[in-house]
Structure 1
Amino acid sequence: MLPADAPFALCLTHDVDRPYKTYQSLAFALSERSPSHLRALLPGANPYWQFESIAELEADLGVRSAFYVLNEPSLFATRPPGEWASVENLVEHAGRYDVTDDELVGVLRTLDEGGWEIGVHGSFHTDSDPDRLAVEKATLESLLGHEVAGCRQHHLKLGPSTWRVQRDLGFRYDASLGSRSSVGFLHGYDPIVPFDDEFVVFPLTGMEVAFPDPGTDFSAAAAACEALVDEAAANEAVGTVLWHPRYFNEAEFPGYRRLYRHLVEYALASDGWVGPPGELYEWLVQHERLPLGRQE
């Protein structure tokens, strides 16, 4: 049973990887031979800052979602010198942002006060670094003034002990288990309880880039969204979708904002419960509806 006797639940999430378009502008301008990308470097131009736009869209639909905030450490301060020249590390750390920046803290607090969930987007190495994950959790909680419930690891990167570390640090749930390339209930229709207690895993059912490109074929993308919802409704499932904030920038990612709205509207029209994982988690615990004994 789900809230309001809904036949299924759809959790809405956003990973805040890069709220500022920085090095990407030059990279895209060179690779695509399109200097138009350089406009993002002008003062006041910030196409990846989509917090207010997302909140307006969701408020219009009467729903809320979760934002997972990335707090990456400095590559040069935290990794050994032998890793500094790694292309993977340089790309991974380029464009990192300051989670304590006043503008960002202000918008996160506004979202938090408005009913949106704010969680931790565990940085690249925290799948095996509990001390760093603890710092990221404590920092975000100090900015918000309360504990946070949820975590999703950057790049969905899970190690053999990540869930246990998250639980021991006080997280109530993880939302990292899933695929960047496939859409569907790859890990079953229920949340997973890996330790047979109140720590829960909400598997990722669909990331925006795994759907057909709505800018090329919106009908195919919409049909894939509808099929996902229909499968959820037929199986009393709990699904989770991820839309990175930059994909709400229609100039660079045409169709994805429209597709997100279509997905949410179709889920609501199908009588599903739609909202952030943290809110669903609280309901499941309060009503003793966790699928205890069903483990991954």
Structure 2
Amino acid sequence: MLAIFLSHDVDWPRHGPGMDHIMARRDRFEDNIIEKVLRGYNPYFGIPDIVEMEERLGVRSTFFFRPFYDDGTDVNCYSDIIKEISKKGWEIGVHLNDLSSVDAVKAQKEKIEEISVRTLGCRVHYLRIKTEDYRKIRDAGFLYDSSLKSFRDRIDPKDMGHLQIDGVVVFPVTIMDAYLFTYMNVNEERIIKVFEEAIDIAKRMKKDVITVLWHDSSVKMRGGRAYGKVLEFLYSREDLEIMRGVDLLRRVI
């Protein structure tokens, strides 16, 4: 059965990027969201929304948290969230900022593990990974990575399935929300069609995994707010199995 690796990157601290950042991108949101932003609301904090949607269907996914955020805030701002969702079955992974050395990667892994259980998987921020980085990831103790993506502007079999690089199981990113609405220029009405086409390609090419990356920061945005429909569509397909990264890992090794 074709597996859907459902994953979410948490790119921003809990308080978000700040009002100036959001207002400069106000065209991404409906007016009612912007009105709430003016009263202090952070629309980038979408973890509760995702968890609620997935829990309603009995689905579990993987959240990748950054050890440190751009404003210097560390992952402890999410400590209660991480503990709660981990206890309820969501997988916690590491969204790596720094691949300069094995020690740097290991330190980021340990930072997340101070809050959570052992982390087995990672994804590099901005998907900025090179072939030589996999050895560092392996030596830091990770068993799988999901940072590889060959094409931004289309769905391609090369971004499906899994492979191994230097002893690390790699799940390439097949569909990312941000690329759907930029490089691929897909509107909300066509999102499900894109997923249908990806599933057809995977089956035709005998690929075993489609990896989906949907940021928690996008679920209140135009486009990104379609996550609920995407989730319901995937769940409705009897020929698919929605999985966390750790579940896939056990399947392929």
Using structure 2 for the length normalisation, give the TM-score: 0.85
Corresponding residue for residue 104 of structure 2? 132
Taking a change above 3 Å as real, the CA distance of residues 231 and 46 of structure 1, as seen in their structure-2 partners, is: same
1:98 is aligned, of 74, 80, 83, to 74
Deviation digits for residues 203-235 of structure 1 (CA, Å, limit 9, x no counterpart): 000110222579983332221121112222332
Counterparts in 2 of 1:165 and 1:10: CA distance versus 1, 3 Å: same
After superposition, residues 1-296 of structure 1 pair within 5 angstroms as 6=1, 8-20=2-14, 22-29=16-23, 37=34, 39-40=36-37, 42-43=39-40, 45-72=41-68, 93=70, 95-101=71-77, 104-123=78-97, 126-144=98-116, 146-178=117-149, 181-187=152-158, 189-195=160-166, 197=167, 199-212=168-181, 217-234=187-204, 235-249=206-220, 253-258=221-226, 260-268=227-235, 269-285=237-253
Q: Is the 8 A contact 1:206 1:241 kept in 2?
A: yes
Contact 1:22 1:41 in 2 (8 A): no
Cα distance in 2 for partners of 1:26, 1:32 equals 10
CA distance in 2, matches of 1:216, 1:273: 25
- C-alpha separation between the residues in 2 aligned to 1:29 and 1:218? 22
Alpha-carbon distance in structure 1 between the residues aligned to 2:179 and 2:159: 18
The runs of 5 or more residues in structure 1 that have no matched partner are 1-5, 74-92, 286-296
For the 8 Å contact 1:178–1:186, the answer to whether it is kept is no
Please tell me whether the aligned partners of residues 157 and 207 of structure 2 are also in contact (alpha carbons under 8 angstroms).
no
Deviations 1:14-64 (A, max 9, x none): 111014454452134357699985853645x22222212111101122211
What is the CA–CA distance in structure 2 between the aligned matches of 1:202 and 1:216, rounded to whole Å? 23
Q: Partners in 1 of 2:195 and 2:57 — Cα distance?
A: 17
Give 3-state SS (helix, strand or coil) of 1:187's partner: helix
Question: Rg: which structure is higher?
Answer: 1
Unaligned segments of structure 2, at least 5 residues: none
For residue 69 of structure 1, report the CA deviation from its aligned partner: 0.6
Counterpart amino acid of residue 98 in structure 1: D
1:179 Cα deviation after fit: 5.1
User: Are the counterparts in 1 of residues 8 and 213 from structure 2 also a CA contact under 8 Å?
Assistant: yes
In the alignment, the residues of structure 2 paired with residue 217 and residue 192 of structure 1 have an alpha-carbon distance, to the nearest angstrom, of 31
Distance 1:230 1:172 in 2: 29
CA contact (8 A) 1:65 1:275 kept: yes
What is the distance in 2 between the residues matched to 1:281 and 1:147?
14
SS at match of 2:114: helix
Aligned partner of 2:209: which letter? V
**Which structure's residues are more often strand, by fraction?**
2
Identity of counterpart residues, as a percentage?
A: 28
Between 275-284 and 61-70, the greater mean CA deviation after superposition: 275-284
How big is the shift at 1:160?
A: 3.7
